[in-house]
Amino acid sequence: MTDLRLYDYAASANCYKVRLLLEQLERDYERVAIDIFDGDTLTDAYERLNPQRSTPVLELSDGRTLIESNAILWYLAAGTPLLPDDPFGQAEVCRWLIYEQSDVMPMIGGLRFRLVTGRFAPDSESAQRRRTGAHEVLRILERHLATRSFLAADRYSIADIAVYAYAHLAEEAGVDTSAYHRFHDWLERVREQPRFVDDLVPYPPNASLLAGRSIYG
């Protein structure tokens, strides 16, 4: 018996970040598999669960639900060492949770998804524009990490989990990360944390054929 249910797509890094946190907090949960390529997010039932039709969704035992992966991280990490309890530290975490969804995910995760599903040709102008954005993200991270071991509040937190989820996939989006040494050191520090897991699965091999039915975008 568990009090948490996670509606979860195994190949989504937004879902992976929640699974990673749950593992590090040693929390039990029920995992409900959602296949975005098989129309699972397009049903009326899923729309009632999440009008934005995104994954993941966290459902509590009392029926309340939370959407937006980084908001789910916030709820789960509250009161644990993975979320500071002072206003300034919380605001620093908040800054990275926002930047992750406004810049890191679209520039790296969005690019990777569009390449895998064939929406972008690798050398198209659209792909190049996102790749430029991805390098800007990596420059911001590299500069920030010049004087810090972790992104916020001088410690490993959900800010690192959130940004790691898509940032560590940059090479799969055709972005050369070899110049960003501090970034790589930081990836390694994240991977060295207790109970770190990486259970992200690849997109299905026929993702480019399936994508026409997907609403991810």
Residue 33 beta carbon to a second copy: minimum distance, rounded to whole angstroms:
23
From 33-41, 91-99, 118-126, 183-191, span contacting a second copy (CB under 8 A): 91-99
Site stretch for a second copy (CB under 8 A), options 11-19, 86-94, 120-128, 169-177: 86-94
Q: Which residue has the tokens 């620093």?
A: 92
Sequence-separated contacts (24+) of 196-203 with Cβ below 8 Å: 196/20, 196/24, 197/19, 197/20, 197/23, 198/16, 198/20, 199/10, 199/16, 199/19, 200/10, 200/11, 200/13, 200/16, 201/10, 201/11, 202/11, 203/11, 203/113, 203/116, 203/117
Minimum CB–partner distance for residue 74 and a second copy (Å): 5
Q: What is the rounded distance in angstroms from the CA atom of residue 78 to the CA atom of residue 119?
A: 38
* Binding region for a second copy (CB under 8 A) out of 3-11, 27-35, 94-102, 111-119: 94-102
- Minimum distance from CB of 194 to a second copy (Å)? 22
56 cis-preceded (ω within 30 degrees of 0): yes
Span interacting with a second copy, options 18-26, 31-39, 71-79, 188-196, rule CB under 8 A: 71-79
Task: Say if residue 23 is exposed, middle or buried (CB neighbours under 10 Å; 0-12, 13-18, 19+).
Answer: middle
117 binds a second copy (CB under 8 A): no
Shortest distance, CB of residue 93 to a second copy, whole angstroms? 8
Report the distance separating Cα 6 and Cα 33, nearest Å.
Answer: 8
What Rg do the C-alpha atoms of the chain give, in angstroms? 17
Q: How far is the CB of 78 from a second copy (least distance, A)?
A: 4
Per rule CB under 8 A, is residue 94 in the interface with a second copy? yes
Binding residues among 130-169 for a second copy as defined by CB under 8 A: 140, 143-144
Chain length of the chain: 217
Out of 25, 33, 42, 71, the only residue in the binding site for a second copy (CB under 8 A) is: 71
Task: Return residues touching a second copy (CB under 8 A).
Answer: 51-52, 60, 64, 66-68, 70-72, 74-75, 78-79, 87-88, 90-92, 94-95, 97-99, 101-102, 106, 140, 143-144
